[in-house]
Structure 1
Amino acid sequence: MPLVPLQADVLGPDYRVETITLPPDSEGAVVATLVSLEPERPNGRAVLHVHGFADYFFHTEYARWWADRGYAFYALDLRKYGRSLREHQTPHYVADLGEYFGEIDLACWRILQRDGHERLIVSGHSTGGLTVSLWAHERQPPELAAMVLNSPWFDMHGSAWLRSPAARAAIDRLGASRPMREIPRKVSTVYGRTLHRDHGGEWDYDLAWKPLESRPIYVGWLRAVRRGHAQLHAGLDVACPTLVLSSARSYFGEQTEETATRHDIVLDVEQIRRWASSVGRHVTSIAVEGAIHDVVLSRPEVRAEAYAAIGTWLEAWVEAAPSASGEQDDQRGEADDRDHGA
């Protein structure tokens, strides 16, 4: 159990929240925030979820689904996002995705060492899916049992020129010399309006933390993402089973409520599936018909299909595998058998 008292979160009394103090950066003090939900019947395993761009954790149905299976659920609001955003900070800005590794490490220490969970599943959405893949490759934690990636951002969609060596070199140079230069872009609010309950959607979340109009994109941040993409494309070596979920289709035409509620209108799902196998040695890719960018926020019948897919995959590749302690017990048992002449 935690050695420090935890406070109730904005999501309600079942959710606990704690602040993780991080080393200051050029803008000043920096924190991350860890939210947790305890299961009624714990199985000794835990999930750590990392959100995407211009986002934060509010996915209570997703958390409850894991808790109902016995997993302690944790979600990390990364630095400069959601609960962790402070007035003196530029929202979401980092110059290197590796800056997030420190807070993921500290969250994992709390989950595994302090709270005593044996095995960990890491979950990531969109940019968070890219970040946790890079983290898992870099850290290779022995307790990592699996990863679940929900529409991970694995490449730059749009015209082929944006993915060309010339474009990448230009972003690299400009990101180094003028990192805080904002990249002009048109942002539709259709996706957000189809999600939020005040605009006809199903979900209740803080529009100050997840604005309908998204957030500005800066060249230095995009440089960090493109460098992450390049590392992924060169091939990562994540050993644990990994599930990559995406919509069956993207749509980049005129955005309407109909297209926004049945397609991924944020990322190119063909790119997600193309690069999924670059994560590691054991990757399963599943396309969910009618899903949106954040698959677990899709329409109820689509969510049900997505959860069924996650459950089947877990049963086949994760929950059927022995835990670390179980493996040790088996080894001790084999040694005892040998000692007794078995």
Structure 2
Amino acid sequence: MQPDILGPPYEQQVIELDPDDEGPVVATLVRRRADRPAGRAVLYLHGFGDYFFQTHLADHFIHDGWDFYALDLRKYGRSLLPHQTPNFCRDISEYFPELDAAARIIRRDGNETLLVNGHSTGGLIAAIWSDARAGQDVALDGLFLNSPFFDLNLPWLLRRPLAAAVCRLNARTPYRVVQTGLSSVYGQSVHDSYQGEWNFDLDWKPLAGFPVRAGWLNAIRQAQRRLRHGLRITVPVLLACSTRSFRSRRWHDAATLADAVLDVEHMVRWAPRLGRHVTLVRIDGGLHDLTLSGKPARDQLFSELDRWLRAYFTSEPTGPDPGQPVAAERPENRGIPQTD
């Protein structure tokens, strides 16, 4: 390990990966050890156009004895090399080698329990990887999904037939830009130079994200389709999202109390397709990254997270019976359509 850009007590390890068509490839594992290790660790996976900077999230886990790790995936943040196209991939499985390597490093550090915390695209990646690695030596023990990217935030006609047509037409040109950027509303709601309270590197996390390319869009669509058909994740899953979405591309103060990136009802709809042990929590006033929400929503998230962790990762659970699936708390979320 070497010093990380966040400074002590954070350190990082560069994971060398096989080169691809653009050249050398690396991923970066950030680590912060607990003062009183308990043999358990969390691995954080960021979203699209993102990287790890949420030190207050690490603080929360460290306080309870969890070692904290975060992985900047290939072509993101700390791992983005000058010759690379930011955030590009052709298939979600391209991220499996760094996830496998990170899991093995975490286990070698003495952690018997591994919780993976995925945000947005990181949540989709974590779910697909968890399903693929069940029963293997790199398997995880729990999954915490923060506003996972389970569907495109578009009307049905655009997210199904039109998106499929775009991918087919650009199958031979995977690097072609199909959308120049996203709305900057969410970025404005979190960055401290606008309406938010957080400081982060705008080169690694631009307010409007990076261009969306055909190959990446196809990779996401294929992963989402696999999830909708049903995964068999056997470990406990906590899925948390906001109670509402913000849909305008123009700024309004309502964006500070809602998910301004994805449709939260998609997350609710597809949550049961993850596996049998799924807990759904909806956070009033939550932003897309719930950990960057205003303090009341942030406190609610951490309270719900702690309750779930006590239920599944202590010898004497204080919450629901960890041997049984936990139903969504809101009655209106129980009627889940079986097809789309």
Superposed pair shares fold, TM > 0.5: yes
CA deviation profile, 1:128-152 (whole Å, cap 9, x unmatched): 0000100000011465221000000
Residue identity (%): 46
Pick from 56, 60, 65 the counterpart of residue 61 of structure 1. Answer: 56
Contact 2:182–2:209 under 8 Å retained in 1: yes
SS in 2 for 1:33: strand
Contact 1:290–1:302 under 8 Å retained in 2: yes
CA deviation profile, 1:256-303 (whole Å, cap 9, x unmatched): 251221000100000000001111111011100000000000001110
Pick from 114, 123, 130 the counterpart of residue 129 of structure 1. Answer: 123
| Structure with higher helix content | 1
1:321 Cα deviation after fit? 7.2
Contact 2:181–2:211 under 8 Å retained in 1: no
SS in 2 for 1:169: helix
Structure 1 stretch displaced more, 22-31 or 143-152 = 143-152
Flag the structure with larger Rg: 1
Q: Which runs of structure 2 are paired with 1:97-108 in the superposition (5 Å)? A: 97-108=92-103
Distance 1:272 1:195 in 2: 21
Contact 2:179–2:213 under 8 Å retained in 1: no
SS in 1 for 2:123: helix
Contact 1:129–1:152 under 8 Å retained in 2: yes
User: Would you say 1:139 and 2:133 are equivalent positions?
Assistant: yes
Going from structure 1 to structure 2, the CA distance change for 1:198 and 1:85 (only over 3 Å counts) comes to same
**Which structure 2 segments of 5+ residues have no match?**
318-340
Distance 1:260 1:144 in 2: 34
Q: Which runs of structure 2 are paired with 1:140-219 in the superposition (5 Å)? A: 140=134, 141=136, 144-164=140-160, 166-185=161-180, 187-219=182-214
Structure 1 stretch displaced more, 245-254 or 54-63 = 245-254
Distance 2:260 2:118 in 1: 18
TM-score normalised to the size of structure 2?
0.89
Contact 2:44–2:71 under 8 Å retained in 1: yes
Show the counterpart of 1:337. none
Distance 2:142 2:173 in 1: 38
Q: Structure 1 residue runs of 4+, over 6 Å off?
A: none
Going from structure 1 to structure 2, the CA distance change for 1:302 and 1:187 (only over 3 Å counts) comes to same
Contact 1:175–1:222 under 8 Å retained in 2: no
CA deviation profile, 1:227-262 (whole Å, cap 9, x unmatched): 000100010000000000000000202532512210
CA deviation profile, 1:71-94 (whole Å, cap 9, x unmatched): 000000000000000110000000
TM-score normalised to the size of structure 1?
0.89
1:318 Cα deviation after fit? 2.7
SS in 1 for 2:193: helix
Show the counterpart of 2:334. none
Show the counterpart of 1:312. 307
SS in 2 for 1:311: helix
Show the counterpart of 1:79. 74
Q: Partner letter of residue 291 of structure 2?
A: V
Distance 1:169 1:155 in 2: 13
Distance 2:47 2:163 in 1: 22
Show the counterpart of 1:234. 229
CA deviation profile, 1:84-108 (whole Å, cap 9, x unmatched): 0011000000000100011000000
Pick from 269, 274, 278 the counterpart of residue 273 of structure 2. Answer: 278
CA deviation profile, 1:14-67 (whole Å, cap 9, x unmatched): 101110000000000000000011111111000001000000000100011001
CA deviation profile, 1:180-218 (whole Å, cap 9, x unmatched): 110135633222122122234211211111111210000
Going from structure 1 to structure 2, the CA distance change for 1:254 and 1:225 (only over 3 Å counts) comes to closer
**Which structure 1 segments of 5+ residues have no match?**
1-5, 323-342
SS in 2 for 1:198: coil
Distance 2:159 2:316 in 1: 39
Pick from 12, 22, 41 the counterpart of residue 46 of structure 1. Answer: 41
Show the counterpart of 1:118. 112
Structure 1 stretch displaced more, 184-193 or 266-275 = 184-193
Distance 2:57 2:127 in 1: 20
Pick from 243, 263, 267 the counterpart of residue 248 of structure 1. Answer: 243
Pick from 22, 27, 31 the counterpart of residue 26 of structure 2. Answer: 31
Contact 1:147–1:240 under 8 Å retained in 2: yes
User: Would you say 1:288 and 2:298 are equivalent positions?
Assistant: no
Distance 1:32 1:251 in 2: 33
Distance 2:81 2:177 in 1: 20
